[in-house]
């Protein structure tokens, strides 16, 4: 799957916590966020507009 850059603004404490979790799980923050977003979207399915 080709990836596209996505930029957003988050609370600095959330970013710090995500970085720690990513290191503890030997992954990147980008991969962590992608997994979380996929999980969230699968729980909140809506029809595409």
Residue 47 lies in a domain: no
Number of domains in the chain: 1
Please compute Rg for the chain using Cα positions.
Answer: 13
* Interhelix angle 12-24/29-43, nearest 10 degrees: 100
* Per-residue model confidence (pLDDT) at position 47: 63
Domain range for residue 17? Answer: 12-39
pLDDT at 48: 60
Using CB atoms within 10 Å of the CB of residue 48, give its burial: 0 to 12 exposed, 13 to 18 middle, 19+ buried: exposed
Mean pLDDT of all residues in 14-42: 97
Q: What is the mean pLDDT of residues 9-33?
A: 97
With respect to residue 6, please indicate whether it lies within any of the assigned structural domains: no
Domain membership of residue 2 (yes or no) is no
pLDDT number for residue 32: 97
Q: What is the mean pLDDT of residues 18-46?
A: 95
Single pTM value for the model = 0.78
Quick check: 49 and 38 in contact, CB under 8 A?
no
In a domain, 44, yes or no: no
Flag whether 32 is in a domain. yes
């Amino acid at each position: 799957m080709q990836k596209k850059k996505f930029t957003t603004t988050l609370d600095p404490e959330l970013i710090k916590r995500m970085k720690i979790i990513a290191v503890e799980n030997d992954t990147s923050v980008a991969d962590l966020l992608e997994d979380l977003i996929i999980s969230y979207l699968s729980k909140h399915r809506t029809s595409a507009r």
